[in-house]
């Protein structure tokens, strides 16, 4: 991965936070006001939002708690932090991240797709017997965290993203690199790193649009990192991210790696059809976003 210089990184990330989803903030505040708040319900709500999940994971994975292993499960994090700490984090974010109606509308597609991909990735992980579905969920939720950050930084950012998804030759991030000298995968890497997510997840976030180098050519090595990357790319395709964010009728990235990813995960075309049907029945399909 190409590292950004300190000046480039500070210029992009200075003063920028990933905003929490407004309705989730309202739901959390209502639960907190209950005589006996349900911590499991609070964890469920937080799990649906990228900014909130990242903030509490950053806290529990900080040196202050001295945990031996990094935690990626929001439910486990909420139990470790306790009600008071969780409430303080949530309330702090609700004050700092007030959004205009225009910003809320622009980020709706990002919030919806992140949650869908996280849920699909968890189901795929279980189907292929991956041992840690929580990692798949966290990767699905956080892998595009650079998108809202760059949306807030650059007024025309979504146009650059559309340019990336419309190419059947270049990587999705190449057009961003040409226009901005950075891309959402690299910015997402630094954000995930600042949240103290496990190094493997940070690395996958950085490289999740460099998939040709992993799955094309020599047969991909069987390891946990490649398994998670394969799960992510399959989940993105099932969720229709190329339509939701890219506004394309064809998933060019998936077309290049489809057979290799399915073979790596030991899934058939019929398995893919079954997964697509299952999640379409659950309402997780591109047409629900009003795209195309």
Tell whether 184 and 198 lie within a shared domain: yes
Residue 254 lies inside a defined structural domain of this protein: yes
Please check the confidence at residue 267 and state whether its pLDDT lies above 90. Answer: yes
Going by pLDDT thresholds of 50, 70 and 90, the confidence category of residue 290 is: very low
Mean of pLDDT over the chain: 84
Out of 18-27, 80-89, 167-176, 247-256, pick the least confident: 18-27
The domain tally of the chain equals 2
Q: What is the pLDDT of residue 291?
A: 43
Domain boundary among 96, 128, 150: 96
CA distance 206 to 171: 13
Q: Tell me what pLDDT residue 272 has.
A: 95
Domain-embedded: residue 174: yes
**Average pLDDT for 270-277:** 93
Query: Residue 159 to residues 156, 169, 256: CA-CA distances in angstroms?
Result: 6, 18, 23
For 222: left if phi > 0, alpha if psi spans -120 to 50, otherwise beta; the answer is beta
Whether residues 55 and 132 share a domain: the answer is no
By residue range, what is the domain housing residue 220?
101-289
Q: Is residue 72 part of a domain?
A: yes
At 16 the pLDDT is 60
Is residue 188 located within the same domain as residue 239?
A: yes
- In this predicted model, which residue has the larger pLDDT, 24 or 249? 249
Residue 292 has pLDDT above 60, yes or no: no
| CA neighbor of 176 nearest in space, from 150, 202, 194, 211 | 150
What Cα–Cα distance (Å) separates residue 77 from each residue in 71, 73, 175, 225, 271? 7, 6, 37, 23, 34
Over the stretch 220-251, which tens digit does the pLDDT of each residue have?
Answer: 899 999 999 999 999 999 999 999 888 899 99
Q: Kindly provide the b/e burial profile for residues 128-158, where b requires at least 16 CB atoms within 10 angstroms of the residue's own CB.
A: bebeebebbbbbbbbbbbbbbbbbbbbeebb
Q: Is residue 234 part of a domain?
A: yes
Residue 16 domain-assigned (yes or no)? no
Q: Residue 115: which pLDDT band, with cuts at 50, 70 and 90?
A: confident
Domain contains 51: yes
What average pLDDT score do residues 57-75 get? 85
Q: What pLDDT does 247 receive?
A: 87
197 and 69 part of one domain: no
CATH number, position 180: 1.10.3210.10
Residue where a domain terminates, one of 96, 127, 148 = 96
Same structural domain, 177 and 48: no
Same domain, 122 and 266: yes
pLDDT of residue 40: 92
pLDDT of amino acid 10? 67
Contacts of 200 (CB under 8 A, 6+ apart): 135, 224, 225, 228
Domain boundary pick from 96, 111, 136 = 96
pTM of the model: 0.81
Whether residues 182 and 260 share a domain: the answer is yes
**130/146 same-domain check:** yes
pLDDT at residue 114, rounded to an integer: 87
Per-residue pLDDT at 105: 66
List the one residue out of 54, 94, 51 whose CA is nearest residue 74: 54
What secondary structure letter does DSSP report for 289?
Answer: G
Asked if residue 266 and residue 171 are part of one domain, the reply reads: yes
Q: What span, in angstroms and rounded, lies between the C-alpha atoms of 115 and 235?
A: 11
Q: Look at residue 62 and tell me if it is in a domain.
A: yes
Pseudo-torsion of CA 126, 145, 115, 101, nearest 10°?
180
pLDDT (average), residues 115-126? 92
Q: Which of 286, 289, 232, 239 is nearest to 261 (CA)?
A: 232
Considering the domain architecture, whether residues 186 and 204 belong to the same structural domain is answered as yes
> Tell me: the pLDDT tens digits for 192-225?
888 888 899 999 999 999 998 899 888 889 999 9
What are 138-163's pLDDT values in tens digits?
Answer: 999 999 989 888 887 888 888 888 88
In a domain, 3, yes or no: no
Proportion of the chain above pLDDT 70, given as a percent: 85
The answer to whether residues 117 and 257 belong to one domain is yes
Helix residue ranges per DSSP H, the chain: 6-13, 22-32, 39-47, 50-60, 74-81, 83-96, 101-127, 133-142, 146-153, 157-165, 174-180, 184-194, 199-207, 212-215, 224-239, 241-244, 252-265, 269-281
Confidence of residue 182 (pLDDT cuts 50, 70, 90): confident
**CA separation for the pair 57, 42 (Å, rounded):** 14
Residues in contact with 231: Cβ distance below 8 Å, sequence separation at least 6, in sequence order: 121, 124, 125, 128, 130, 136, 139, 265
For 222, residues 6+ apart whose C-beta sits below 8 A from its C-beta are 264
pLDDT band at 288 (very low <50, low <70, confident <90, very high): very low
pLDDT class of 9 with cuts at 50, 70, 90: low
| Closest C-alpha among 148, 141, 145, 146 to residue 121 | 141
Are residues 265 and 124 part of one domain? yes
């Amino acid at each position: 991965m190409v590292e950004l210089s300190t000046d480039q990184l500070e210029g992009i990330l200075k003063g920028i936070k990933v905003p929490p989803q407004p309705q989730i903030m309202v739901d959390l505040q209502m639960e907190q006001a209950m005589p006996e708040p349900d911590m499991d319900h609070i964890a469920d709500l937080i799990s649906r939002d990228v900014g909130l999940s990242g903030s509490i994971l950053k806290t529990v994975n900080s040196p202050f708690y001295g945990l031996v292993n990094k935690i990626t499960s929001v439910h486990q994090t909420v139990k470790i932090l306790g009600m008071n700490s969780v409430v303080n984090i949530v309330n702090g974010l609700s004050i700092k991240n007030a959004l205009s109606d225009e910003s809320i509308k622009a980020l709706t597609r990002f919030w919806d797709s992140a949650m869908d991909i996280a849920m699909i990735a968890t189901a795929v992980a279980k189907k292929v017997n991956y041992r840690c579905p929580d990692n798949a969920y966290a990767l699905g939720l956080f892998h595009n965290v650079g998108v809202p950050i760059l949306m807030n930084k650059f007024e025309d950012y979504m146009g650059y993203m559309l340019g990336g998804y419309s190419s059947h030759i270049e990587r999705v991030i190449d057009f961003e690199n040409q226009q901005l000298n950075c891309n959402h995968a690299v910015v997402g890497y630094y954000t995930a790193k600042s949240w103290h997510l496990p190094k493997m997840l940070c690395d996958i976030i950085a490289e999740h649009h460099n998939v040709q180098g992993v799955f094309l050519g020599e047969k991909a090595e069987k390891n946990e990192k490649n398994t998670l990357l394969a799960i992510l790319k399959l989940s993105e395709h099932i969720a229709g991210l190329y339509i939701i964010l890219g506004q394309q009728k064809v998933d060019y990235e998936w077309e290049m790696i489809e057979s290799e990813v399915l073979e790596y995960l030991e899934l058939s075309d019929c398995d893919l059809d079954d997964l697509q049907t299952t999640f379409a029945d659950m309402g997780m399909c591109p047409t629900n976003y009003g795209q195309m």
